[in-house]
Structure 1
Amino acid sequence: MKVKVAEEVAAKAVEMDGASGVTMRMLIGPDDNAPTVNMRMFDVAPGGHTPRHSHPWEHEVFILAGEGTLRTAEGDQPLGAGNCLLVPGGDEHQFANTSDAPLRFLCLVPRDSG
Structure 2
Amino acid sequence: MMIVSHEKNVKTIKFNNSEVKNAIMKALISPKEGWDGHVMRVMEVGKEGYTPKHSHPWPHINYILEGKGILHIDGEDNEVKAGSFAYVPADKIHQFKNIGEDRFKFICIVPEEGHK
| TM-score when normalising by structure 1 | 0.93
* 2:6 is equivalent to residue 5 of structure 1: yes
2: CA distance between counterparts of 1:111 and 1:69? 25
Compare 96-105 and 23-32 and name the one that shifted more. Answer: 23-32
Q: How does 1:1-114 map to 2 (within 5 A)?
A: 1-113=2-114, 114=116
Unaligned runs of 5+ in 2: none
Cα distance, 1:95 vs. partner?
0.1
- Check the 8 A contact 1:68/1:79 in 2, yes or no: yes
1: CA distance between counterparts of 2:66 and 2:76? 22
Cα distance, 1:17 vs. partner?
4.3
- One-letter amino acid of the structure 2 residue matched with residue 71 of structure 1: H
Q: Deviations over 1:29-57 (max 9, x none)?
A: 24323211100000000100000000000
- One-letter amino acid of the structure 1 residue matched with residue 79 of structure 2: P
Task: Count matched residues.
Answer: 114
1: CA distance between counterparts of 2:34 and 2:18? 29
Compare 7-16 and 46-55 and name the one that shifted more. Answer: 7-16
* Matched position secondary structure for 1:108: strand
Q: Percent identity?
A: 32
Cα distance, 1:76 vs. partner?
1.0
Compare 48-57 and 17-26 and name the one that shifted more. Answer: 17-26
- One-letter amino acid of the structure 1 residue matched with residue 73 of structure 2: T
Cα distance, 1:10 vs. partner?
1.7
Cα distance, 1:21 vs. partner?
0.3
* Matched position secondary structure for 1:112: helix
Unaligned runs of 5+ in 1: none
